[in-house]
Copies of this chain bind each other. A is one copy, B any other.
Amino acid sequence: MPSTQQTFKNREEHRRWLAAQAALPAGFRVGTARFDFIPREAPKPAKMNLTLIALDRPTPDFAAVFTRNAFPGAPVIVGRKRLGGPGLGAIIINNKISNVCAPGGEAAAEQICAATARLLQMQPSEVLPSSTGVIGWGLPVEAMLAALPAAASSLTGGSILPAAEGIVTTDLYPKVRSATVGTGRIVGIAKGAGMIEPNLATMLVYILTDIAVPRDTLRAMLQRVVEPSFNSISVDSDTSTSDTVALVSSGRVPGVAPADFEQALARVCNELAEDVVRNGEGIRHVIKVTVTHAPDAPAARALGKAVVNAPLFKCAIAGNDPNVGRLVQAIGKHAGALPTGAPDLSRLRVQLGGIEIFAHGVFQLDPRKETALVEHLKSAELYQSIIPADGIYTAAVDYPPHERCVEIGIDLGTGNSSATVIGGDLTHEYVSENADYRS
């Protein structure tokens, strides 16, 4: 998963760069609306964004993958049905309430789709609903129906940025990545910051392209590209109820070789996935674990996930403490718990920041290395904590100052497969965000 190694001095510089990525492919428009409402379940004022992505005409060439959480949200249940239909014409997204296991949730989602379809002169079955936010609350259907016309009348081509901004919940900043192949474009937006361990996670990702790719090919490609991207990240190991990655082609630009398209698609997905982690709740260090010479890629990925999900190691990284003991303990915990029994770890070599810290069954440490390791961690730090008087930690930045990672290399020496997993540290900012979040 290549990082583009950019740096941004401030929010404005980052926003300019985002705008430069955000040109919509031909055949798409986006619109938004925002309104006040009072949730039945927690009666205090809230605001909801509606984000509408619309094609000029419905297309058969669309794909989507969804969460494997056993309690999928109503939009996911509806979305799975949409996959069997002939065409997709629009995606209607709301934030604030995820419409999961709420009484009447599916009917509410279908009502929103029907109203959206009427405004766009499409069929309800051509509209994909998407929701993110609190689990368990019901959608404020009447308020949403009242706001839909504003979203529809604001539909414009040009930039996807209003959509990237509209779908956020606890994200620090909008996320947009794009690629050009010949005269065609691929542009993707993502939201997601907590409850992130895709299998898939929330995490909503919409990738739009004007490059013509037939439906079945699109679906096969999406399955392939999500594995090393969105399925290889974890902010907090919590797989959400609502994950969605949708990929839609307006078909306007024919003649692009499928391999070229897939390579560009993979790059957009890899970059977006890393963006999701980098803007993750409380993330002050992005951690990239590359597992090599593993028996197979799923085993490599599972080991990488175990490392980025290990609370003690994550806390140490937060403190710029290269606690390699906890890193090895995390590897050992995962290995020792495998149903198939612990694999051969005799050839294990572990690097941190390119420095070997474990080999031949023992740690390879000295004070000079320790100093270099601390420097590596400090250089990967996105921002330092601001100690708050009221005990509530918030992120010090609303843009990514750089794209560096804590780099961990785990060489199993027993096979030919590899995988890269991206996660982050465990910080006071994460706890503050989540010890009182219901919005």
Contacts and interface: CB of A to CB of B under 8 A. Distances in A.
A358 interface: yes
11 contacts: A68-B337, A71-B328, A71-B345, A100-B328, A102-B362, A135-B325, A135-B328, A195-B326, A239-B329, A321-B438, A323-B437
A103 B363 CA distance: 7
Interface string A73-85: 0000000000000
A436 B319 contact: yes
B315 A431 contact: yes
Given A71-B331, A323-B438, 16 more contacts: A41-B365, A42-B370, A69-B335, A70-B345, A71-B345, A103-B363, A105-B362, A135-B329, A136-B325, A236-B312, A238-B311, A238-B330, A239-B333, A240-B329, A321-B436, A387-B391
A153 interface: no
Number of copies of this chain in the oligomer? 2
A332 interface: yes
A136 B328 contact: yes
A394 interface: no
Nearest to A425: B435
Given A101-B328, A312-B195, A435 B318 contact: yes
Nearest to A236: B311
A320 B311 CA distance: 21
A199 B319 contact: no
A430 interface: yes
Interface string A161-179: 0000000000000000000
A311 B424 CA distance: 13
Contacts of A385: 391
A333 B427 contact: no
Interface of A: 41-43, 67-72, 98, 100-103, 105, 134-137, 194-195, 197, 199, 236-241, 310-313, 315-316, 318-319, 321, 323-326, 328-337, 339, 342, 345, 358, 361-363, 365, 367, 370, 385, 387, 389-391, 426-428, 430-438
B239 A337 contact: yes
